[in-house]
Amino acid sequence: MGETHAANNHFDLVIVGTGSGNSILDERFAGQRVAIVEKGVFGGTCLNVGCIPTKMFVHTADLAATPASAARLGVDETLDGVRWPEIRDRIFGRIDPIASGGRDYRINHPDNAHVTVFEGLASFTGHKTLSISPNDGGPATEITADQFVLAAGSRAVLPDVDGLADVDYHTSDTIMRLDELPNRMIILGSGFIAAEFAHVFSSFGVDVTLIARSGALLRGEDAAVSERFTEVATRRWDVRLNRNTVRAESDSRTVRLHLEGPDGPETVTGEVLLVAVGRTPNGDLLDVTKTDVSVVDGGYVGVDEYQRTNVPGIWALGDVSSPYELKHVANHEQRTVQHNLLNPDDLVAADHRFVPHAVFTAPQIAAVGLTEREAVRRGVRYVTATQDYADIAYGWAMEDNTGFVKLLADPDTGLLLGAHVIGPQAPTVIQPLIQAMSFDLDAKRMARGQYWIHPAMPEVVENALLKLDL
């Protein structure tokens, strides 16, 4: 039976963080004395406040947004209403029991007789020595171990804006649990989280004002995608580009942000403010330098290709050490660490060659590999081709007029260097391109070495491949 207090404070293995870290343990670790430490809700970011609830809201938002686009196709629909409390409670009614079930399994199930769960904030106090301050406020416990896995994730950052700390702001951790939908929402930021929540809340009828520091949204994407998304977003939301946020203030009903922009000072108001300006790794909360673990640029715990830190026996994975900050990367690194813990004489390296990502906004966006900007910066030889959804049969069916697939390929080998998709089902449409890159399938063979179902959406990929001058 899992215990909440250890009799002996030395462990074979200590895992900090129950996001991807929790998935390391399986029956192969039964012979080891293991501790797992969690300061928050069991299951981590993706399950509780990240990928999973956001995409459940996004799917619901896609349905709510249908009437707005159906009229173009001759179908007149109206949105009768959005039952926010019901949507919120349906989503968290599925998620919260998974988190509590996971906790209960680790603490109480006989499978975990060798596992001690510590619920508290872990921080290193010395070499391979971890102090845990319990969430219930009791005295700290000090533990040591032969091996540690740092899987402590990341947290939302707050920008340095005068007055912001005194304003009732939300981050992605709290915005999905609002009591009621506001009439107006300000979103500060222009990355993944801003783009996804702007789609969710505007589809539910909230007037969204989006504030970006630079001249484009989703600036990390290929410039063609970022520009197209910015155009579409500007038609849908009140998008303020090139704005510096100088001060925040609020009264009991509204939040005001004072901005400086190309036309001078201006003020935006809303009942709710969502701050989404990036995340920072949690290595500082863990005080990793006290155990001699090195931290690299951006505050990430430094790891090698085997997910080893510079200290023998201390491993790291996921957002605490990975600038990708993506769940599929955290999962892959978790599998790598799991293998390496179990097979110290046969280590495997993590594969970060072709890490894809998707932004579940509207239109959807997905990408893998080099942007054109990166190809130029690196001096890589490339050819590029773009295929609009509008010019394939399924694009006609949808009357899509904003989506496209853009590819970059190596003119010498024909191998793909990058793929960028904006448009319906982009995260699904891109998958064969990720597969081709991962398995060294060149663009010509990919295009003509298989059937493409007609007239399905992936024909947009087939046509983009055929357009490459190879």
Q: Which residues are catalytic?
A: 454
Q: CB of 76: closest distance to ligand FAD in angstroms?
A: 33
Q: Which of 39, 228, 256, 420 binds ligand FAD (CB under 6 A)?
A: 39
Nearer residue to ligand FAD within complex by CB, 173 or 410: 173
Q: CB of 188: closest distance to ligand NAD in angstroms?
A: 5
Q: CB of 28: closest distance to ligand FAD in angstroms?
A: 20
Please enumerate in sequence order all residues whose Cβ is within 8 A of that of 270, keeping only pairs 6 or more positions apart, or say none. 182, 184, 185, 186, 207, 209, 254, 255
Q: Which of 14, 46, 259, 301 binds ligand FAD (CB under 6 A)?
A: 46
Please enumerate in sequence order all residues whose Cβ is within 8 A of that of 164, keeping only pairs 6 or more positions apart, or say none. 158, 248, 275
**Which of these segments, 303-311, 312-320, 342-350, 412-420, binds ligand FAD (CB under 6 A)?**
312-320
> What mask, x for binding ligand FAD by CB under 6 A, covers residues 154 to 173?
------------------x-
278 has binding-site annotation: yes
196 has binding-site annotation: yes
Q: CB of 290: closest distance to ligand FAD in angstroms?
A: 12
Nearer residue to ligand NAD within complex by CB, 24 or 217: 217
Q: Which of 64, 117, 241, 286 binds ligand FAD (CB under 6 A)?
A: 286
Instruction: Indicate whether 61 belongs to the interface with ligand FAD (CB under 6 A).
Output: no
Q: Cα–Cα distance between 328 and 389 in angstroms, integer? A: 27
> What mask, x for binding ligand FAD by CB under 6 A, covers residues 175 to 194?
------------------x-
Q: CB of 359: closest distance to ligand FAD in angstroms?
A: 8
142 has binding-site annotation: no
Residue ranges that bind ligand NAD, judged by CB under 6 A: 159, 188-194, 196, 213-214, 219, 245, 276-279, 325-326, 357-360
Instruction: Indicate whether 318 belongs to the interface with ligand FAD (CB under 6 A).
Output: yes
195 has binding-site annotation: yes
Nearer residue to ligand FAD within complex by CB, 171 or 387: 171
Nearer residue to ligand FAD within complex by CB, 199 or 256: 199
**What are the residues facing 387 on neighbouring strands?**
405
Mapping DSSP onto H, E and C, the string for the chain reads: CCECCCCCCEEEEEEECCCHHHHHCCHHHCCCCEEEEECCCCCHHHHHHCHHHHHHHHHHHHHHHHHHHHHHHCCCCCCCCCCHHHHHHHHHHHHHHHHHHHHHHHHHCHHHCCEEEEEEEEEEEECCEEEEEECCCCCCEEEEEEEEEECCCEEECCCCCECHHHCCCECCCCHHHCCCCCCEEEEECCCHHHHHHHHHHHHCCCEEEEECCCCCCCCCCCHHHHHHHHHHHHHHCEEECCCEEEEEEECCCCEEEEEEECCEEEEEEECEEEECCCEEECCCCCCHHHHCCCECHHHCECCCCCCECCCCCEEECHHHCCCCCCHHHHHHHHHHHHHHHHCCCCCCCCCCCCCCEEECCCCCEEEEECCHHHHHHHCCCCEEEEEEHHHCHHHHHHCCCCCEEEEEECCCCCCEEEEEEECCCHHHHCHHHHHHHHCCCCHHHHHHCCCCCCCCCCHHHHHHHHHCCC
Give the residue closest to ligand NAD by C-beta.
191
**Which of these segments, 28-36, 44-52, 217-225, 389-397, binds ligand FAD (CB under 6 A)?**
44-52
Q: CB of 359: closest distance to ligand NAD in angstroms?
A: 5
**Total number of residues binding ligand FAD (CB under 6 A)?**
36
Residue 194 binding target from ligand NAD, ligand FAD, none, CB below 5 to 8 Å by type: ligand NAD
Residues in region 3-32 near ligand FAD by CB under 6 A? 16-21
190 has binding-site annotation: yes
154 has binding-site annotation: no
Give the footprint of ligand FAD on this chain (CB under 6 A). 16-21, 37-40, 44-46, 50-51, 54-55, 121-123, 151-153, 172, 193, 282, 285-286, 318-320, 325-328, 330
Show binding-site residues for NAD(+). Answer: 189-196, 278
